[in-house]
Amino acid sequence: MKVLVVGGGGREHALCWAIAASPLLSRLWCAPGNAGIAEVAECVPIGAEDIPALVAFARGNAVDLVVGGPEAPLTLGLADACADAGIKCFGPSAAAARLEGSKAFTREVADAAGAPGARWRRFEDPAAAKAYVREQGAPIVVKADGLAAGKGVVVAASVAEAEAAIADIMESRIHGESGATVLIEECLIGQEVSFFALCDGRTALPLGAAQDHKRAFDGDTGPNTGGMGAYSPPPAFTAAMQDTVMARIVQPVLAEMAKRGAPFRGVLFVGLMITEHGPKLIEFNVRFGDPECQALMVRLRSDLLPALLAACDGELADFDLRWEPLHSLVVVMASRGYPGPYAKGTEIRGLERAAQVPGVQVFHAGTARREDGALIATGGRVLGITGTGATLAEARAAAYAAVDAIEWPEGFCRRDIGWRAL
């Protein structure tokens, strides 16, 4: 099979790494890819959101399967364009991708499906939103309705902080038109868990869970980021809890989406809060998480490619996945200054030493090669150092041993990934 993966981050490196191991694969491309992906796939200089160019490449190279990585091309209609061209695409239609493209749509669907979640209100007027916050008090959650690269949510500890977030999102438009509408939600208390399910429009297959670390610095301090680390499986998420989430959230939402004429195919990322009253829905995403994908792929024993095809073909009811009896932990190395301004083009050394640590896989995100072959950082989140072990402590030790082998003075990472479990 010929496969094209769309995207160029750590998630896409993990997907390419897993797909490259399939005996079904004959050729693998990634658009646009990165320096690490180039070691397992052919990188194509096409932007992830250039839908016409991606489809033209897939058609011209007789690609059998396109795999959507990030959310933007999916919400822009990558799967629809592939379907029109007669090409299979792992990922939801634009109509189904609204589960991530609009947080208000997610809440409407979840409420219709009876899925447990936070109380919420939608606002298009900043004054009305601020008045509601003053009425409700804090802590309270402010969310930009549209896509904001994982940075559109503010958990406000005070009314003043919530009002400032509303002003930033709705008046200053720090997330552009994604902030034309905001949701104000009840602040759920508990442990946050990312759960994933493969979906074929009717059937959902559990794909495991992970716990990520969104704040930039140790002790869960600093600004929110796209994710500074993750580990899998999280002890807080039991097998019984997985059954509850599948029965009360995933399957009812799949049924509701089918009822609305937008059956969901692809991977459903269920953001959960494990409260004293059980798991509650925070939000949906319509793609693998980053860095959760890295943590999941190193634990997957089954061939990923047939699973992706089964989701496309509506055949998950007869499918099963096997997992290695391992724990995994990802430490994200980022450019100093992230998630704010940061320098690009700084050189990274020592990756060969890091990759030799037993149980370690190094996934690239924002990297490129200079003409002289040196590896340089081109993004905010740059590397995902992923350790595996028989215990979470072993996985953590392996990951940090590899981190310590890397020479990159302009980079930083959190030193406490996995602290909740350890």
Interval 210-236: pLDDT, tens: 999 999 999 999 988 989 999 999 998
Q: Cα separation of 180 and 42, whole Å?
A: 39
* 147 and 73 Cβ atoms separated by less than 8 Å: no
Would 61 be classed as within a structural domain? Answer: yes
Check residue 153 and give its pLDDT.
87
In a shared domain, residues 30 and 83: yes
Check residue 10 and give its pLDDT.
98
Check residue 151 and give its pLDDT.
72
Which of 318, 336, 352 represents a domain boundary (last residue)?
318
CATH number at residue 314: 3.30.470.20
Main-chain phi, psi angles of 100, to 5 degrees = -105, -35
In a shared domain, residues 49 and 28: yes
Question: In terms of pLDDT, which residue wins out, 147 or 100?
Answer: 100
CATH number at residue 396: 3.90.600.10
Question: In terms of pLDDT, which residue wins out, 296 or 148?
Answer: 296
Check residue 21 and give its pLDDT.
97
Residue whose token pair is 């104000």: 184
Q: Cα separation of 261 and 248, whole Å?
A: 21
Q: Quick check: 422 pLDDT over 90? A: no
Provide the sign of the torsion angle of the four alpha carbons 61, 65, 69, 73, taken in this order: positive
CATH number at residue 157: 3.30.1490.20
Burial string for 389-408 (b: 16+ CB within 10 Å, else e) reads beebebbbbbbbbbbebbeb
Q: What does the longest C-alpha to C-alpha distance in the chain come to?
A: 60
Check residue 224 and give its pLDDT.
84
In a shared domain, residues 210 and 293: yes
In a shared domain, residues 301 and 219: yes
Would 119 be classed as within a structural domain? Answer: no
Q: Work out the angle between the directed axes of helices 159-166 and 126-136 (0-180°, nearest 10).
A: 170
328: three-class secondary structure by DSSP: strand
Q: Output the pTM of the full model.
A: 0.94
Give the closest residue to 9 by CA, choosing from 393, 307, 332, 275. Answer: 332
Would 96 be classed as within a structural domain? Answer: no
In a shared domain, residues 199 and 155: no
Average pLDDT over residues 263-271: 98
Would 208 be classed as within a structural domain? Answer: yes
In a shared domain, residues 339 and 408: yes
| Residue range of the domain that includes 306 | 191-318
Average pLDDT over residues 335-361: 96
* 70 and 5 Cβ atoms separated by less than 8 Å: no
Residue whose token pair is 């180039």: 38
CATH number at residue 37: 3.40.50.20
Q: pLDDT exceeding 90 applies to what percent of the chain?
A: 94
In a shared domain, residues 211 and 305: yes
pLDDT category of residue 386 using cuts at 50, 70 and 90: very high
The tally of domains found in the chain comes to: 4
Write the DSSP string, 113-171.
Answer: HT--B--EEEES-HHHHHHHHHHH-SSEEEEESS--TT--EEEESSHHHHHHHHIIIII
In a shared domain, residues 341 and 304: no
